[in-house]
Amino acid sequence: MKLIVATRKSILAQTQTDLVIDMIKKNSSIYSEKLLMETLGDKILDKTLDKIGGKGLFVKEIEMALLENKADVAVHSMKDVPYEVPSMFEIAVIPKREDVRDVFVSKDNTSFMDLRKGAKIGTSSRRRAAQLKLLRPDIEIVPIRGNVQTRIRKIKELNLSGTVLAAAGLKRLNMEYIITNYFKVEEMVPAIGQGALGLEIRKENKEVYEAIKHIEHLDTRICVEAERSFMTELKGDCHSTIGAHAILQGDLMYIIGIYEVNGRIIKKDIEGRAESFKELGKGLAKKILNV
């Protein structure tokens, strides 16, 4: 059996897909081949995502490849997957998650809290920008978009003091050496599903599901689904300032989340039985809205 695996053309997307292909192959004799695609989100880099339609711009073309039987599986970063997955598809498998934290990459190795007053930080993420301003109200946010390599290059080009990236991507690219400091989850709440990958297939494609199901990581699945439940309840997208992170502690789940309500960033947490993970996500959303 051969699987055609669709992904974006960026180096990170391809690296992540290679990791998935290796995982599938490790416990089976299944050969996989990449189908590289350029999405609208990759093409339009001079506008923020909320100006051009949202995070779904990174997955729509790839989903078309599934629909037209050009691909069997699509590999996404779960933080790019909108809360509504079209009814003909499903996120069939979520492998074990990487580091969920955001990191600061400095121009001259100065840590974030030690930057000079008024330092310019590059990010196009509303979530990151809002939380950076809470930590350092004096900094200036400069919108930058593009893949990891592009954003690192723009630090020098735009004379920025640094940028904020996901630890997961840098670790997968073996680029940990450029990290100046890690933000704690409590001070920089991650994006929904950050650090997790999702394998999307046509719904009820039993043959493909059977070929990939062994790389599912149940604890990661439960945590990501809890975070996505929080996002769904709030109808969150890249027009929203939103983030959440769920962790399992035995039979219990703890979730921390942020959401912008009437111009204020509200941060709350919740704890409960892990088996009620979706209800916990919804409960946290209601807790934030009831402030």
Question: Going from the N-terminus, what domains does the chain have, and what CATH number goes with each?
Answer: 1-97+196-216 (3.40.190.10), 102-182 (3.40.190.10), 217-291 (3.30.160.40)
Q: How confident is the model at residue 61 (pLDDT cuts 50, 70, 90)?
A: confident
Spatial separation of the C-alpha atoms in residues 131 and 136, rounded to whole Å: 9
Q: Is the pTM here over 0.85, yes or no? A: yes
How many angstroms separate the CA atoms of 271 and 208, rounded?
36
- Evaluate if residue 234 carries a pLDDT over 90: yes
User: What pLDDT, on a 0 to 100 scale, did the predictor assign at position 101?
Assistant: 98
**pLDDT computed for residue 6 by the predictor:** 95
| 276 φ/ψ angles, rounded to the nearest 5 degrees | -100, 40
The answer for residues whose C-beta is within 8 angstroms of residue 43's C-beta and 6 or more apart is none
Rounded CA-CA distance 257/279 in Å is 14
Average pLDDT over residues 178-204: 96
Task: Please tell me what DSSP assigns to residue 56.
Answer: G
Catalytic residues, by residue number, are: 80
Q: Is the pLDDT of residue 213 over 80?
A: yes
Strand ranges inside 94-196, DSSP E: 102-106, 120-122, 140-142, 162-166, 181-182
Which tokens belong to 251?
A: 């039979």
Helix (H) or strand (E) holding 187: none
More confident call, 185 vs 44 = 185
Q: What pLDDT, in 10s, does the model give residues 66-124?
A: 988 999 999 999 998 988 898 999 999 999 999 999 999 999 999 999 999 999 999 98
Tokens 């990487």 belong to residue: 98
What six digits make up the tokens of 114? 């030690």
Q: Would you state the pLDDT for residue 114?
A: 97
Which candidate, 75, 11, 5, places its Cα nearest to that of 34?
5
